[in-house]
Amino acid sequence: MKASKLIKDIENRLSPQRENRHWEAVWMARALFSLTGNHILLDVEIDPDQTQMETLCQWIEKRNQGYPLQYLLGEWDFFGRRFLVGEGVLIPRSETEILVETVLSYFKKRPAPKLLDLCSGSGCIAVTLALERRDALVTAVELSPEAVKYLRANDELHQSGVNVIQRDALTPFSDALWDGIVSNPPYLTREEMDHLQTEVTYEPQMALYGEEDGLFFYRRLTRIWKTRLKPGGMLAFEVGDHQGDSVAQILRENGFSKVCQTADYHGIIRVVTGIWR
């Protein structure tokens, strides 16, 4: 069977409602049959075994039920790198790259920054910061035992040297001071939780729900951690749609200056930052 035929067969068996089913078929074929881009380009011959085909059938069935493609693959790309993911951990998203870019830009000319990632999840933020800034000392805090497994696995996969701490980010664990604190906290409102896309319902609620108005963690994390920032230190949050002004106000009310909102490539405010006095 040619690679092109295999991919087309997968595509045809995926629900027509999936706008990106061709690319999903490509991802499945690459993962299950160890295909590279060159294999697909050259349209190589494939001889699938029974186990592979049975797994493929299971994947297609689960995907058509809304199960996340990323969980099927067991990995997803973030900032040009592969991150391990699965049930119990939030899937890395491209908009979070804006948060990483913002932090990297601020610390571009600051040597050996000491950075803290709260509600770290898969570790995509912490690991990326550590890899992009090899002189940085990066610590990641995550409460969920399931997510911590992926956080540690991703740190090991990339040999990033992140200090992983399993505990509640709402409870400071030391009097250490940080140059930068970054977080992509749970920020969905109750209304948003009631209308989740099917795929998102498979992700851990504790990584999504930010209480009734979605702002609970921004208020608590800002109040708790602001005094753990060095003078001139940055607090950087990813925010949900239409939350930019509210989070910016929270930072101002807590004594932060130079509060800034940064949009993603679609013009949606995605990051709010403030500088500690």
Domain segments of the chain as ranges? 3-65, 79-275
Per-residue pLDDT at 113: 98
In angstroms, the CA 163 to CA 179 distance is: 16
Topology of domain 79-275 in CATH is: Rossmann fold (3.40.50)
Could you tell me which of 82, 79, 69, 70 has the C-alpha nearest to residue 104?
79
Query: What values do phi and psi take at 196, rounded to 5?
Result: -70, 145
Per-residue pLDDT at 249: 98
Mean pLDDT within 241-267: 96
Over residues 180-235, the pLDDT tens digits come to: 999 999 999 999 999 999 999 999 999 999 999 999 999 999 999 999 999 999 99
Per-residue pLDDT at 101: 98
Mean pLDDT within 111-123: 98
In angstroms, the CA 71 to CA 85 distance is: 6
pTM for the full predicted model:
0.95
In angstroms, the CA 8 to CA 208 distance is: 35
Task: Read off the tokens for 146.
Answer: 């399931």
Position 146 pLDDT exceeds 90: yes
Per-residue pLDDT at 17: 83
Query: What values do phi and psi take at 13, rounded to 5?
Result: -90, -15
Per-residue pLDDT at 55: 96
